[in-house]
Amino acid sequence: MTKSNDTRSSRMNWWKVLLPVLIGLAAVGWLFWRDARSQNIGAVWQSISFTPYVIACIALAWCFMLGRDFGLSWRFRALTDRQLSWRQAIKVNCLCEFTSCITPSAVGGSSLGMVFLNREGIELGRATTLMLTTLFLDELFFVVSCPLVVLFTPVGELFSSGGEAFQTGLQLTFWLVYAGITAWTTLLFCGIILWPNGIRALINRLFRLRLLRRWQQQATALADNMVATSASLRAKPFRFWLETFGGTALSWTSRYLVVNALFLAFVPQADPHQWLILARQLVVWVVLMVSPTPGGAGLSEWLFTEFYGSLIPSAALALIMAIFWRVISYYVYLIIGAILVPRWLRDAFTRKSSK
């Protein structure tokens, strides 16, 4: 391949990366513009006093997001037996988060993590195994944490926001998605830990059926990856699982606590409801797993304003808080990705040309 062809391919990939970002930003921008006009958001914004306390709480929200990145980077280090440096682990984490921001939540962007790990010196087969492990750990966290949240939070308070139709739809969606997560996690657990060869044989046999044959290749690859992952993980000590799951729990909990810090800043009267705020974040992220838009764009902001509306004095303030939440937990990764991806693509094409 000539240098000019490499350049054209690089530009083409650039547009593949940027186009969904621009579409997502345009959709969210239109949503904010429409709601801002109806809610008189300007007057509410002017009424906010950015005292040292408010600024400190906003800074705390950023610290919680850094805690989320630390947890995932720590997990990458543990999974690779410290083969990745902290710098490499942070880079892989940011690239994975960027691809999650520009792909539908229902699809997920972390599947490219194996490519990112491979570029950092991890063999491709092992990188695939590691990403399947991260998927299992993330799903396991939701399976374990959801019952705990429901147990310690009255159901009447957990879903009591918005109209009756919203509450019913949200509760139904939450439990359906949770049931799907539980089934998927059980399959991964059996395929990775308990009966890898048996699960592979079952999947291969199941996807020979005429109705499922179109997905046979993907299912076979998944089954083979489960067996490879099992061979890598079954000999791991308990300390390995404690460390990797600890990093997973730290990352997700830190992500949820961003909203708690924002409530401390903008709605201090909601302090007695801090546990409820945290519990509702778990519901939000479970529901966003089936979002068809890139990074949950549009749906996230609407869900935040509706779901937390009962705890916030006005709809305009809820929208302002949603903006802060999305800037901290979403848009910052678009900016980081815009900085990292050009260099990553350039390095990738340079290696390809040299070979």
Mean pLDDT of the residues in the chain: 83
Give long-range contacts, CB 8 A cutoff, 24+ apart: 4-10. 6/349, 6/352, 6/353, 9/349, 10/345, 10/346, 10/349
Residue 193 makes CB contacts below 8 A (sequence gap 6+) with 230, 233, 234
**Burial category of 252 from C-beta neighbours within 10 Å (exposed 0-12, middle 13-18, buried 19 and up):** buried
pTM of this structure = 0.86
The tokens describing 105, both together, are 């939540």
Of 113 and 42, the structure prediction assigns the larger pLDDT to 113
pLDDT digits (tens, 9 = 90+) for 130-177: 888 999 999 999 999 999 998 999 878 888 877 788 889 999 999 999
> What pLDDT score does 9 carry?
41
| Mean pLDDT confidence for 273-301 | 87
pLDDT digits (tens, 9 = 90+) for 238-251: 999 999 999 999 99
CA 110 to CA 90: how far, in whole Å? 14
> Domain spans of the chain?
3-156+248-354
